[in-house]
Amino acid sequence: EPEVTQTPSHQVTQMGQEVILRCVPISNHLYFYWYRQILGQKVEFLVSFYNNEISEKSEIFDDQFSVERPDGSNFTLKIRSTKLEDSAMYFCASSGLAGGTGELFFGEGSRLTVL
Amino acid sequence: AQSVSQHNHHVILSEAASLELGCNYSYGGTVNLFWYVQYPGQHLQLLLKYFSGDPLVKGIKGFEAEFIKSKFSFNLRKPSVQWSDTAEYFCAVTRKAAGNKLTFGGGTRVLVKP
């Protein structure tokens, strides 16, 4: 069964460092997403990406965040200068359909710990 | 504010007990409704979804949910739980006006005691 894969599963970094979280979406999907879940809180939408550009982003997704699809398979989330409050589980998801009709398939998450 | 609310944060029950998890949303207009489950150490998986039609939807692993439009609710049920149903359950909504962006409820941790 096709699945979304994420690396690393856990990353520990110092405050101020850059972090790149990687995702390989399901191969024929066209819509890509990042969500995050701070420990004990809701799963929150960060950004959606389609046709090589951001289609929507939340207030959380400020200038410290960026996304990229550098090749045909990877979808990355970069945090330029990490803060303590960026510590969270980051989930990548992909979907084959738009318009609120598609199921999102999630990866297992990348746990980011900022010290 | 528009949101998705799950009433119970933690539920503890014994095997064979019935389970019902509440979910309410506050969006107007056309919505699509989902329940996702996250087993310990695993990724979010879709349990079931409602787009249109029969408001009683059946999902995997014996779960079902009922969409009651007048109550803005989409409660999840299972008549008889098993220990393997121990997980966190998330209600989520997409709105046609907002693409595929899922808005999640706060989640309900369910512990089934053997």
User: For B53-97, how does the pLDDT look when each residue is reduced to its tens digit (9 = 90+)?
Assistant: 999 999 999 999 999 999 999 999 999 999 999 999 999 998 766
Instruction: Kindly indicate the confidence band of residue B99, based on its pLDDT and cuts at 50, 70 and 90.
Output: low
Specify the pLDDT at position B98: 63
A58 within 8 A of A67, measured Cβ to Cβ: no
Indicate the residue of B32, B96, B100 with minimum beta-carbon distance to A31. B100
- Is there a contact between B107 and A42 if contact means CB atoms under 8 Å apart? yes
Specify the pLDDT at position B43: 82
Residues of B in contact with A36 (CB under 8 A): none
With CA atoms as reference, the chain B residue closest to A31 would be B100
- Specify the 3-state DSSP secondary structure of A85: helix
Specify the pLDDT at position A19: 98
Who wins on pLDDT, B110 or A52? B110
- Specify the 3-state DSSP secondary structure of B104: strand
User: Measured between CB atoms, does A109 come within 8 Å of chain B?
Assistant: yes
At position B26, the amino acid (one-letter code) is S
Indicate the residue of B90, B95, B102 with minimum beta-carbon distance to A45. B102
Q: Which one of A43, A60, A103 would you mutate to disrupt binding with B, by most B Cβ within 10 Å of its Cβ?
A: A43
Mean pLDDT over each residue of chain B, to the nearest integer: 91
Specify the pLDDT at position B27: 80
Q: Which tens digits make up the pLDDT trace of B20-58?
A: 999 999 987 888 899 999 998 888 889 999 988 999 999
Tokens describing residue A14: 């110092």
User: Measured between CB atoms, does A51 come within 8 Å of chain B?
Assistant: no
Specify the pLDDT at position A101: 61
CA–CA dist B90, B95 (Å, integer): 17
Specify the pLDDT at position B22: 96
- Residue ranges in chain A modelled with pLDDT below 70: 98-102
Q: How far is CA A69 from CA A54, A73, A89, in A?
A: 11, 7, 20
| Residue-by-residue DSSP string for A24-48 | E--TT--EEEEEEE-TTS-EEEEEE
- Is there a contact between B101 and A103 if contact means CB atoms under 8 Å apart? no
